[in-house]
C-alpha cells in the first residue's frame, strides 16, 4: 500500500498557510450536528477538546484517571519551546525547524515539523492568555532557558512544573467547555476498542472502570490523544497507568504503527534502587543547564564523590562534545552514560550511575551574588551559602524531589543519575492532517509518530501536544467532517457496535477465566526486562531475534497462566492492568521487529552493528530514510509499508554536536 | 449572586462570625478597662463611678442592645456552622493526628465558646441581672464594687470565673487573628503584627480579669 | 544513607463499594526496604494478596508516582499523605518508618468525596468547582502576544505558587470541617493575581464559592491544617485573598 502523507505542495514556509487557506470548512450550524470523540485528556486531548468545543462541535472526552487534570502531561518538568526570539539570540521559525529535524536525526517529515515551529509562538500566546504563570523577569516579561540540542534560549518554563501549568491551562479551557455544555467528560473510563463502519472510524467501546460496564459511544470522528507507550519497558518515567491500549486497538483495526522502535531514553533519571522499583523519576533536562556530569577517571573507584579530586574526574560530555558540552541531545547523553558505566566507570552501589554535580554551579552563582550584593571579604562558606540559595531558587523543587527519593542532599553530594525510558517518538502513523490510515481516526501528541523523528529534543513534547490540539486539528478535522455533514448519528445498537462490544466483553471474560498462578505485574516485569535488555539503549540483530522469541513465549504463558483477582462488574484495577499488559506484550514484539528491520543507528535507536569508530550512531540514509509504517495482518504478522522521507529544505548530514 | 445568598454562603457566615467577634473584642477592651480601675485600690470609687455611667448613660444602653445582638449573631452563626461542618464528614477517621497540623484550641473553638457561654450566663446572673434590678425595679443604692468584692472572695465563684478567663484566653488566641484572616486581611508585613497583637491581647485581657479576681480574693484590694 | 529492612503491621480500610460499610483490616508485611516508596510497599502487599488469593488486592488511586498528578490519596496514621511535610503519598518513602511500626491507612473522608472502593474516593466535585469558573474565557486563537502585558514578577510568582495546587484533596481530608477553601482559593488567587483574570474575577469567585458550598464541603475555621498538610505547601494567604475577593465581589455585584 502506498502511503499518502498529504503534505501540501509549495515552499516550506507557505505550506501550512496555503493549506489553511484552501481547506474545507464546516459551517456553524453543521458543526452542532457533528460529534467528535476524544480519548485522553493530556495536553493534546484537552487542548483539542477545548478548541473543538469552542468551534461548536459536540465533543465527548474520555480519560482513565479520576479527572482530566491527572493526565501524565502534568509531569513534564522543564519547559516548552517556541521560536519567539524574545532573547534576541538569533532564534527563528527556521532555526527551530532545523534544530528539530537535526535533533530527530533526519527521520521526521519536513512539512509537519515546519508547521510545528510556525505555531509554536501561538501556543505561548494562548497559554499566557489562559493564565499560565510562566517564569518572568523583573521587568515583567517572560523568561527563557536553554535545553539540549539547541544553542539559543527558547524554552519557556514555570519552575520545574511546566507540564503541570500547561495542562491545567488546557484543563481549565476544557472544563469551561464542559460547563457550557459543548463537551461531555467521561472520567474513569478506558477505551477498549475503535468501532469502524464501512472503513471509517465511527465510535468507541469504553469501559466504565468503576462499574465494569462496557459502553458504546458514537462519533463522526475519533481522536486518540493517549500518549506514549514507554511503559512497555515496565520501568519508565511514564505514569503507572500510561498505556498503549487505545493506540493498539486502533492499530488492530487498521491504523498503521509508525517507527515503533523509536524510544527516547532520558539521560538524567534517578537510578533504580532495588527490585521493588515500580517506576523511575526524571530529573529535568534543565538541570544540565548548570549541572556538570562526570565519572571518576579510575575504573571501579570506590571513593566518595567529594573525595575525588578535580583532576581525577572525567567530565566526559564536555570532553567528547566540546561545542554542546553537557547540553547535547538526550540520545547522545544517554549513550555516553551507558558507555562509561559499561566500561566500568559507573558510580554508586549498583555502579550503574553517573554524577550530576552542582558544586561548580553553586560556586559560580555564589560569586555572582557576591558581586551583585557588593560584599567584601567574603568567606568560602558564605559564597557557597549564597550559591546554594540561587540554585535552590532555580531548581529547588527538583532537588527536593531527589532528596526525598534517595535520602541524599544534592546540595552537598553530587546526584547519581542514569538513563531511563521516557518518551516514544514512534506511534500511530498519521498524515499531515493527523489522520491515521483509518479515515476519521486521528492521533495527536505523543500517540502519533510525526514530529520528532528518531529523537525528540527537550521541551518539544509539550510544544507538539499543544500544537496538535490547539492549532492543527481544529483546521484539519474540518477537511474530513465537511464531507460528513449528511451522516446522521449512527445508533449504537447497530451491528458493528454490538459486535465490537461483544469482542471486548469476550476478551475480558477470557482473561478472567484463565485463573492461572502468576500476577499481571510479574508478566509486565518480565516483558520490561526483555525489552530493556534487548531493545533498550543498544540493540543488535541477535538480541532482537531472541527478544521476539521470548516475547512470543511470554505471550503464550500470559494467556494461559495469568491470575486476575476480583470480578468483572466492579472496580478492578488488576483486570484493567491485565488488558494493558496483554497489549504491551504484542507491541513489544512489533518494536523488536521494527528495531531488527532498521539496520542503522539513528537518534534513540542504536544498532551496535552501525556505529562510527568513535562509537557515535551511524545512519544509513541510502537504505533507511523512511518511516516504517507497520500494518497489522494477524497474530505476530505485520506488513511493512514505507513512507520515503524527502528533504527539500534541509541538507541532511551526519549529526554532530562536537 | 443574589443579596441574600451572601449571608447563607459559607464565607458570608464566617464573615459575620469574624465581624461580631471583633465587635465583642472591642467590648472586652472597655470591660477590662473599667475593671482595672479596681486595682487603683481606692475603695472602688472610680470603679463605681464608671459602673454608674455604664448602667445609666443612654448611649451605652443602646450599645448594650447592639452588643447583645452581636453576641447572639456570633453564637447563632457559629452553632450553625459547627453543626453544618460536623455533617460534612459523615464517617469519622479511626486515627487523627491533629497536633501535627494545627493547634488544639483552633480545633476547639466550639467547646471553648460553649464554656464561655456557660460562664457568661453565670456572670450575667451574678452581676448584670442584679444591676438591672437595682436600676429599674428596686431603685436601691448600688455599690457594684462591694458586690464584686463579695462575690470574688467565695472560692466557688472564683474558680468558675478563672476557668472562664482561661477559655476566653484560648478562644481569643485563635479568634483574634482568625477574624482578620476571614476578613481577608492577610499581608506578609502586617499579619505577623496582627498575630502578635492577638497573642498579647489574649494574654493581657483575660490575665487582667484574672489578676483582679485574685487580688480581690486574697484581699490585696480593699 | 543506611538502608534497612522492616516488618510492619498495617491496618487498611477495606470497603467493597460505595454502599458497603467497610472496616479496617489487619495485614502484615515483611522485608520492606527503607528505599521503597510508600506505594511500592502497598504493591508488595498487593502482590502478596494476589498470590494468597483470599482478599482482593487493595484498590488505591495513584498514577504519576512523582508527586504531581494529585491522584494518590492515603490518610496515613491520622494525616493526609502521611508524616512528611510537603510530600504526596507516592513520594513518601519507607525511611519515614521503623521496624515493627503499625500504620493505619484510611481513605480521604468527606461527604463531598464518597468512597468508591477501599482507599479510592470520588473527587469529581473538584472538577465541578473548576467548571463553575476556574478558567479565563479565552477561545483558542484569541490571544495577543505573550509579552504584550508585562506582569510584575512578584505577582507572577505568587500566581504560580497558587497554581502549583495538584487537586489531590489533602486539604479537605485534613480539615476538621472537610472544607475545600484551600483548593478553591488557590485557583481564585492564581487568576485574580493576573491581569488576564481580572475581567471575570467577580463572577468567578461568586460562582466557584457557590459551587463549593453546593458540593457539600464545610466552611473554613482557619485552623491551618490544610496549609500544614498540603503537599504543595499552598499558603493560607490564598484563603484570605479568596475571602477578600468574595466579600468585595458580593458587595460590588449588581445582582
**Dihedral over alpha carbons A550, A555, A556, A560 (to 10 degrees):** 140
In which residue are the cell numbers 449588581 written? C254
B13 CA to centre of own chain: 19
Within an 8 Å CB–CB cutoff, is residue C199 touching chain B?
Answer: no
C-alpha span between A12 and A278 (Å, rounded): 45
**Which neighbouring-strand residues pair with A292?**
A357
**Cα–Cα distance measured from residue B221 to residue B42, given in angstroms and rounded to the nearest whole number:** 9
* Cα-based distances in Å from A642 to A4, A114, A254, A442, A628: 10, 22, 16, 20, 5
Q: Are A279 and A235 in contact (CB under 8 A)?
A: yes
- Smallest Cβ–Cβ distance between C146 and the set A125, A176, A401 belongs to A125
* A254-277: average pLDDT: 95
- Local structure of residue B133 (DSSP, 8 states): I
Contacts of C24 (CB under 8 A, 6+ apart): B94, C11, C12, C13, C14, C104, C106
Interface membership of C94 toward B (CB under 8 Å): no
- Pick the catalytic residue: A330, A340, A607, A655? A330
CB contact set of A200 (below 8 Å; sequence gap of 6+): A438, A439, A440
How far is the C-alpha of A468 from the C-alpha of A49, rounded, in Å? 11
* Chain B residues with CB-CB distance to C116 below 8 A: none
Query: In this complex, which of C150, C159, C167 lies closest to A69 when CB atoms are compared?
Result: C167
Residue A617 Cα to chain centre, angstroms: 22
Of C228, C168, C67, C80, give the one whose Cα is nearest residue A397.
C67
Nearest-CA residue of chain C relative to A72?
A: C64
**Position A1 confidence tier, pLDDT thresholds 50, 70, 90:** low
**Interface pTM (ipTM) of the complex?**
0.98
Q: Are C99 and C6 in contact (CB under 8 A)?
A: yes
Residue A46 near residue A67, CB atoms below 8 Å: no
The DSSP element (H or E) to which B113 belongs, if any, is helix B109-123
- Extract the C-alpha cell encoding A131: 493564565
| Residue A136 to residue C66, Cβ atoms within 8 A | no
Tell me how long chain A is: 658
- Residues sharing a CB contact under 8 Å with residue A167, sequence separation 6 or more, in sequence order: A42, A43, A46, A69, A71, A73, A74
Q: Which three cell numbers stand for residue A315?
A: 567530565
Q: How far is C116 from chain B, CA to nearest CA, in Å?
A: 14
Q: Residue A229: helix, strand or coil by DSSP?
A: coil
Query: What pLDDT is stored for residue C69 in this prediction?
Result: 97
Q: Which residues contact A563 (CB under 8 A, 6 or more apart)?
A: A514, A515, A516, A517, A518, A519, A520, C50, C53
The tens digit of pLDDT for each residue in A141-200 reads 999 988 888 889 999 999 889 999 999 999 999 999 999 999 999 999 999 999 999 999
- The predicted pLDDT at position A69 comes to 98
**So what's the pLDDT on residue A394?**
84
Look at B184 and C241 and tell me if their CB atoms are within 8 Å: yes
Task: Provide the 3-class DSSP secondary structure of residue A50.
Answer: helix
Measure C238 CA to nearest chain B CA, in Å.
9
**Packed helices A93-103 and A110-130: angle between N→C axes, nearest 10 degrees:** 120
C201/C191 Cα distance (integer angstroms): 7
Residue A107 a catalytic site member: no
Which chains, if any, share at least 3 CB pairs under 8 A with chain B?
C
The answer to whether the Cβ–Cβ distance between C93 and A571 falls below 8 Å is no
Tell me whether residues B5 and C210 touch, CB distance under 8 A: yes
Shortest distance, CA B76 to any CA of chain C (angstroms): 15
Please name the residue that has the C-alpha cell 504526596. C88
- C240 and chain B: CB distance < 8 Å anywhere? yes
Task: Give the nearest chain B residue to C103 (CA atoms).
Answer: B95
Instruction: Flag if C63 and A239 touch (Cβ within 8 Å).
Output: yes
pLDDT tens, residue by residue, C91-131: 999 999 999 999 999 999 999 999 999 999 999 999 999 99
The residues, any chain, with a CB within 8 Å of residue A624's CB and separated by 6 or more, are A598, A599, A600, A602
Which residues sit opposite A136 in a β-bridge? A142
CATH of domain A266-420: 3.90.700.10
CATH number of A502-644: 1.20.58.100
CB A355 within 8 A of CB A408: no
Against chain C, the chains showing at least 3 CB pairs within 8 Å are A, B
- Residue C220 phi, psi (nearest 5): -85, 130
Q: In chain C, which residues have their Cβ closer than 8 Å to the Cβ of A74?
A: 64, 68-70, 166
Q: Phi and psi for A26 in degrees, rounded to 5?
A: -115, 130
Which residues are registered as beta bridge partners of A58? A35
Q: With CB atoms and an 8 Å threshold, state whether C37 touches A519.
A: no
Against a cut of 0.90, is the pTM above it? yes
Q: Considering CB atoms only, which of C176, C243, C245 is closest to B182?
A: C243
Q: How far is A40 from chain C (nearest CA, A)?
A: 14
pLDDT of residue A224: 98
DSSP state at residue A607? B
3+ Cβ–Cβ pairs closer than 8 Å linking A and B: no
The answer to whether the Cβ–Cβ distance between B84 and C240 falls below 8 Å is no
Question: Residue with C-alpha cell 525511611?
Answer: C95
Q: Which of B209, B211, B207, B215 is nearest to B149 (CA)?
A: B215
| Rounded alpha-carbon distances, angstroms, from residue C249 to B3, C186, C236, C244 | 11, 17, 20, 8
User: In chain A, which residues have their Cβ closer than 8 Å to the Cβ of C67?
Assistant: 401
* Residue B178 to residue C212, Cβ atoms within 8 A: no
Determine the Cα–Cα distance for residues B55 and B128; give it in Å rounded to an integer. Answer: 9
Least Cα distance to A217 among A37, A32, A481 occurs for A37
Measured CA to CA, the distance from residue C221 to residue B100 in angstroms comes to 17
Domain boundaries along the sequence of chain A:
266-420, 502-644
Tell me the β-bridge partners of A266. Answer: A420
Report CB contact under 8 Å: C197, A86.
no
Q: What are phi and psi of C72, to 5 degrees?
A: -70, 145
User: Cβ separation of C222 and B2 shorter than 8 Å?
Assistant: no
Distance CA(A44)–CA(A47), nearest Å, equals 5
The H or E element containing residue A61 is: strand A58-62
| Whole-number percent of chain A with pLDDT over 90 | 93
The beta-carbon neighbor of A141 closest among C43, C147, C159 is C147
Which residues of chain C does A69 touch, with a Cβ-Cβ cutoff of 8 Å? 70, 127, 167
Cβ <8 Å between C164 and A161: yes
With touching defined as 3 or more inter-chain CB pairs under 8 Å, the answer for chains C and A is yes
Q: Is A411 within 8 Å of A399 (Cβ atoms)?
A: yes
Strand A200-208 versus strand A189-197 pairing type: antiparallel
Please give the C-alpha separations between residue C228 and each of B102, B190, C85, C168, in angstroms, as whole numbers: 8, 21, 7, 14
In chain C, what residues touch B96 (CB-CB under 8 Å)?
Answer: 78
Q: What are phi and psi of C103, to 5 degrees?
A: -120, 125
Name every residue whose Cβ is closer than 8 Å to that of residue C215 and which is 6 or more positions away in sequence.
C112, C125, C128, C129, C180
Q: What is the pLDDT of residue A23?
A: 97
Note the pLDDT tens digit of each residue in B95-107.
999 999 999 999 9
Strand-pair partners of C5:
C33
Q: Domain-by-domain residue ranges, chain B?
A: 9-85+103-217
- Span A343-376, pLDDT tens digits: 999 999 889 999 999 999 999 999 999 999 999 8
C33 and A276 in contact by Cβ < 8 A? yes
Q: Does C114 touch chain B if contact means CB atoms closer than 8 Å?
A: no
Is residue B95 within 8 A of residue C106, CB to CB? The reply is yes
Q: What is the pLDDT of residues A601-615, one digit of tens each?
A: 999 999 999 999 988
Identify from B22, B93, B187, B191 which residue to disrupt to test chain C contact, counting C C-beta atoms within 10 A and taking the largest count: B93
pLDDT of residue B4: 65
Long-range contacts of B36-39 (CB under 8 A, 24+ apart): B36/B208, B36/B212, B38/B145, B38/B148, B38/B212, B38/B215, B38/B216, B38/B221, B39/B211, B39/B212, B39/B215, B39/B221
- Name chain A contacts of C192, Cβ cutoff 8 Å: none
Tell me how far apart the alpha carbons of residues A142 and A144 are, in angstroms, rounded to a whole number.
7
Q: Please compute, for residue A145, the number of CA atoms within 13 A of its CA located in the half-sphere on the CB side.
A: 26
- Contact list, B98 vs chain C (CB under 8 Å): 78, 176, 225
Instruction: Locate C211 and state its grid cell.
Output: 459551587
SS3 A568: coil
Rg of the Cα atoms in chain B: 20
Instruction: Map out the domains of chain C with their CATH numbers.
Output: 5-106 (3.10.20.30), 124-252 (1.10.1060.10)
Residue with cell 496483554: A582
d(CA A449, CA A112): 11
DSSP strand pairing (C5-14 vs C102-106): parallel
Closest chain C residue to the Cα of B102, Cα to Cα: C225
Q: Do A273 and C140 touch (CB under 8 A)?
A: no
Residue A650 burial (C-beta neighbours within 10 Å; 0-12, 13-18, 19+): middle
Q: Which residue in B6, B97, B107 is closest to C78 by CB distance?
A: B97
Distance CA A143, CA A80 (A): 12
Res. B213: pLDDT tops 90: yes
Interface of B with C (CB under 8 A): 1-3, 5-6, 9-15, 81, 84-85, 87-98, 100-103, 106-107, 109, 174, 177-178, 181-186, 188
Probe site for chain C from A50, A183, A242, A278 (most C CB atoms < 10 A): A278
From first to last of the 255 residues of chain C, give the pLDDT tens digit.
578 999 999 999 999 999 999 999 999 999 999 999 999 999 999 999 999 999 999 999 999 999 999 999 999 999 999 999 999 999 999 999 999 999 999 999 999 999 999 999 999 999 999 999 999 999 999 999 999 999 999 999 999 999 999 999 999 999 999 999 999 999 999 999 999 999 999 999 999 999 999 999 999 999 999 999 999 999 999 999 999 999 999 998 877
CB contact under 8 A, A133 and C190: yes
Q: Which neighbouring-strand residues pair with A194?
A: A204
What pLDDT is recorded for position A393? 84
The shortest CB-CB distance from B109 to any of C178, C221, C255 is to: C221
In this complex, which of B88, B92, B94 lies closest to C24 when CB atoms are compared?
B94
Nearest to A239 among C69, C136, C137 (CB): C69
C-alpha–C-alpha distance, residues B213 and B161, integer Å:
8
The model's pLDDT over B47-104, given as tens digits with 9 standing for 90+, comes to 999 988 988 899 998 999 999 999 999 999 999 999 999 999 999 999 999 999 999 9
Tens digits of residue pLDDT in B157-207: 999 999 999 999 999 999 999 999 999 999 999 999 999 999 999 999 999
Q: Evaluate if residue B125 carries a pLDDT over 90.
A: no
Amino acid at each position: 500500500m502506498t502511503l499518502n502523507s498529504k503534505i501540501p505542495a509549495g515552499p516550506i514556509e507557505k505550506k501550512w498557510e496555503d493549506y489553511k487557506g484552501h481547506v474545507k470548512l464546516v459551517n456553524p450550524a453543521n458543526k452542532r450536528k457533528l460529534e467528535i470523540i476524544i480519548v485522553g485528556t493530556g495536553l493534546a486531548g484537552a487542548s483539542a477538546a477545548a478548541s473543538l468545543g469552542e468551534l461548536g462541535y459536540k465533543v465527548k472526552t474520555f480519560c482513565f484517571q479520576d479527572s482530566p487534570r491527572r493526565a501524565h502531561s502534568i509531569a513534564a518538568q522543564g519547559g516548552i519551546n517556541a521560536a519567539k526570539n524574545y532573547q534576541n539570540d538569533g532564534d527563528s521559525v527556521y532555526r527551530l525547524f532545523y534544530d528539530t529535524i537535526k535533533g530527530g536525526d533526519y527521520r521526521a517529515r519536513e512539512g509537519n515539523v515546519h508547521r510545528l515551529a510556525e505555531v509554536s509562538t501561538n501556543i505561548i500566546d494562548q497559554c499566557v492568555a489562559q493564565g499560565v504563570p510562566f517564569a518572568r523577569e523583573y521587568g515583567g516579561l517572560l523568561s527563557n532557558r536553554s535545553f539540549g540540542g539547541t544553542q539559543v534560549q527558547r524554552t519557556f518554563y514555570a519552575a520545574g512544573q511546566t507540564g503541570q501549568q500547561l495542562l491545567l491551562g488546557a484543563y481549565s479551557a476544557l472544563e469551561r467547555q464542559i460547563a457550557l455544555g459543548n463537551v461531555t467528560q467521561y472520567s474513569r473510563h478506558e477505551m477498549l476498542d475503535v468501532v469502524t463502519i464501512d472503513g471509517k472510524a465511527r465510535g468507541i467501546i469504553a469501559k466504565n472502570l468503576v462499574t465494569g460496564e462496557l459502553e458504546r459511544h458514537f462519533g463522526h470522528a475519533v481522536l486518540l490523544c493517549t500518549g506514549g507507550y514507554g511503559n512497555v519497558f515496565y520501568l519508565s518515567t511514564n505514569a503507572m497507568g500510561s498505556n498503549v491500549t487505545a493506540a493498539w486497538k486502533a492499530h488492530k483495526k487498521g491504523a498503521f504503527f509508525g517507527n515503533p522502535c523509536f524510544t527516547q531514553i532520558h539521560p538524567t533519571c534517578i537510578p533504580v534502587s532495588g527490585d521493588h522499583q515500580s517506576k523511575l523519576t526524571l530529573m529535568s533536562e534543565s538541570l544540565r543547564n548548570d549541572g556538570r556530569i562526570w565519572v571518576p577517571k579510575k575504573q571501579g573507584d570506590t571513593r566518595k564523590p567529594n573525595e575525588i579530586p578535580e583532576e581525577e574526574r572525567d567530565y566526559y560530555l564536555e570532553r567528547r562534545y566540546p561545542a554542546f558540552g553537557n547540553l547535547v541531545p538526550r540520545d547522545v547523553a544517554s549513550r555516553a552514560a551507558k558507555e562509561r558505566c559499561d566500561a566500568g566507570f559507573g558510580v554508586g552501589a549498583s555502579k550503574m550511575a553517573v554524577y550530576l554535580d552542582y558544586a561548580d554551579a553553586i560556586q559560580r552563582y555564589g560569586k555572582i551574588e557576591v558581586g551583585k550584593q557588593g560584599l567584601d571579604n567574603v568567606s568560602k562558606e558564605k559564597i557557597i551559602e549564597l550559591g546554594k540559595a540561587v540554585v535552590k531558587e532555580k531548581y529547588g523543587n527538583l532537588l527536593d524531589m531527589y532528596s526525598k527519593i534517595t535520602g541524599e542532599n544534592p546540595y552537598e553530594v553530587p546526584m547519581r543519575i542514569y538513563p531511563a525510558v521516557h518518551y516514544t517518538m514512534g506511534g500511530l502513523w498519521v498524515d499531515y492532517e493527523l489522520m491515521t490510515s483509518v479515515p476519521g481516526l486521528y492521533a495527536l501528541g505523543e500517540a502519533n509518530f510525526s514530529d520528532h523523528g528518531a529523537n525528540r529534543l527537550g521541551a518539544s513534547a509539550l510544544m507538539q501536544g499543544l500544537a496538535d490540539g490547539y492549532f492543527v486539528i481544529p483546521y484539519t478535522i474540518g477537511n474530513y467532517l465537511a464531507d460528513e455533514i449528511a451522516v446522521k448519528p449512527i445508533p449504537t445498537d447497530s451491528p458493528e457496535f454490538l459486535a465490537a462490544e461483544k469482542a471486548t466483553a469476550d476478551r475480558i471474560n477470557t482473561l478472567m477465566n484463565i485463573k492461572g498462578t502468576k500476577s499481571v505485574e510479574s508478566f509486565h516485569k518480565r516483558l520490561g526486562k526483555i525489552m530493556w535488555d534487548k531493545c533498550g539503549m543498544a540493540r543488535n540483530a541477535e538480541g532482537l531475534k531472541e527478544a521476539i522469541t521470548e516475547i512470543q513465549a511470554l505471550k503464550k504463558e500470559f494467556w494461559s497462566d495469568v491470575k486476575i483477582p476480583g470480578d468483572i462488574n466492579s472496580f478492578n484495577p488488576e483486570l484493567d492492568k491485565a488488558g494493558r499488559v496483554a497489549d504491551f506484550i504484542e507491541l513489544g514484539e512489533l518494536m523488536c521487529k521494527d528495531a531488527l528491520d532498521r539496520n542503522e543507528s539513528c537518534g534513540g535507536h542504536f544498532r551496535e552493528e552501525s556505529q562510527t569508530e568513535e562509537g557515535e550512531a551511524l545512519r544509513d540514509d541510502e537504505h533507511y530514510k523512511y518511516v516504517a509504517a507497520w500494518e497489522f495482518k494477524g497474530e505476530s504478522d505485520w506488513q511493512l509499508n514505507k513512507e520515503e522521507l524527502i528533504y527539500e529544505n534541509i541538507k541532511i548530514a551526519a549529526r554532530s554536536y562536537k | 449572586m443574589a443579596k441574600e445568598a451572601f449571608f447563607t454562603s459559607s464565607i458570608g457566615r464566617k464573615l459575620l462570625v469574624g465581624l461580631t467577634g471583633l465587635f465583642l473584642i472591642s467590648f472586652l477592651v472597655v470591660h477590662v478597662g473599667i475593671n482595672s480601675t479596681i486595682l487603683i485600690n481606692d475603695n472602688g470609687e472610680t470603679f463605681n463611678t464608671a459602673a454608674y455611667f455604664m448602667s445609666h448613660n443612654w448611649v451605652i444602653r443602646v450599645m448594650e442592645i447592639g452588643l447583645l445582638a452581636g453576641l447572639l449573631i456570633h453564637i447563632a452563626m457559629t452553632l450553625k456552622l459547627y453543626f453544618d461542618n460536623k455533617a460534612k464528614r459523615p464517617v469519622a477517621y479511626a486515627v487523627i493526628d491533629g497536633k501535627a497540623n494545627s493547634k488544639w484550641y483552633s480545633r476547639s473553638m466550639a467547646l471553648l465558646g460553649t464554656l464561655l457561654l456557660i460562664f457568661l450566663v453565670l456572670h450575667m446572673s451574678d452581676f448584670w441581672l442584679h444591676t438591672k434590678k437595682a436600676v429599674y425595679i428596686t431603685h436601691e443604692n448600688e455599690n457594684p464594687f462591694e458586690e464584686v468584692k463579695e462575690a470574688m472572695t467565695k472560692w466557688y465563684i472564683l474558680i468558675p470565673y478563672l476557668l472562664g478567663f482561661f477559655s476566653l484566653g484560648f478562644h481569643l488566641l485563635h479568634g483574634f487573628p482568625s477574624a482578620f484572616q476571614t476578613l481577608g486581611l492577610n499581608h506578609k508585613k502586617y499579619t505577623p503584627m496582627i498575630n502578635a497583637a492577638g497573642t498579647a491581647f489574649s494574654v493581657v485581657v483575660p490575665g487582667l480579669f484574672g489578676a483582679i479576681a485574685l487580688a480581690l480574693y486574697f484581699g490585696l484590694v480593699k | 544513607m543506611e538502608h534497612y529492612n522492616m516488618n510492619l503491621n498495617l491496618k487498611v480500610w477495606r470497603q467493597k463499594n460505595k454502599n458497603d460499610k467497610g472496616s479496617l483490616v489487619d495485614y502484615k508485611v515483611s522485608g520492606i526496604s527503607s528505599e521503597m516508596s510508600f506505594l511500592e510497599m502497598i504493591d508488595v502487599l498487593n502482590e502478596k494478596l494476589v498470590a494468597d488469593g483470599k482478599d482482593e488486592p487493595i484498590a488505591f488511586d495513584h498514577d504519576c508516582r512523582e508527586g504531581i498528578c494529585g491522584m494518590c490519596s492515603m490518610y496515613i496514621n491520622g494525616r493526609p499523605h502521611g508524616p512528611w511535610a510537603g510530600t504526596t503519598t507516592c513520594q513518601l518513602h519507607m525511611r519515614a518508618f521503623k521496624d515493627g511500626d503499625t500504620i493505619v491507612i484510611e481513605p480521604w473522608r468527606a461527604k463531598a468525596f464518597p468512597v468508591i472502593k477501599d482507599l479510592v474516593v470520588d473527587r469529581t466535585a473538584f472538577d465541578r468547582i473548576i467548571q463553575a469558573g476556574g478558567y479565563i474565557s479565552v477561545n483558542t486563537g484569541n490571544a495577543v502576544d505573550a509579552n504584550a502585558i508585562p506582569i510584575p514578577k512578584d505577582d507572577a510568582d505568587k500566581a504560580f505558587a497558587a497554581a502549583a495546587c495538584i487537586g489531590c484533596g489533602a486539604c479537605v481530608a485534613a480539615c476538621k470541617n472537610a472544607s475545600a477553601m484551600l483548593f478553591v482559593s488557590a485557583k481564585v488567587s492564581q487568576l485574580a493575581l493576573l491581569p488576564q483574570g481580572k475581567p471575570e474575577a467577580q463572577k468567578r469567585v461568586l460562582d466557584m464559592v457557590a459551587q463549593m458550598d453546593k458540593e457539600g464541603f464545610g466552611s473554613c475555621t482557619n485552623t491551618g491544617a490544610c496549609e500544614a498538610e498540603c503537599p504543595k505547601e499552598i499558603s493560607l494567604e490564598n484563603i484570605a485573598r479568596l475571602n477578600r475577593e468574595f466579600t468585595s465581589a458580593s458587595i460590588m455585584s449588581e445582582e
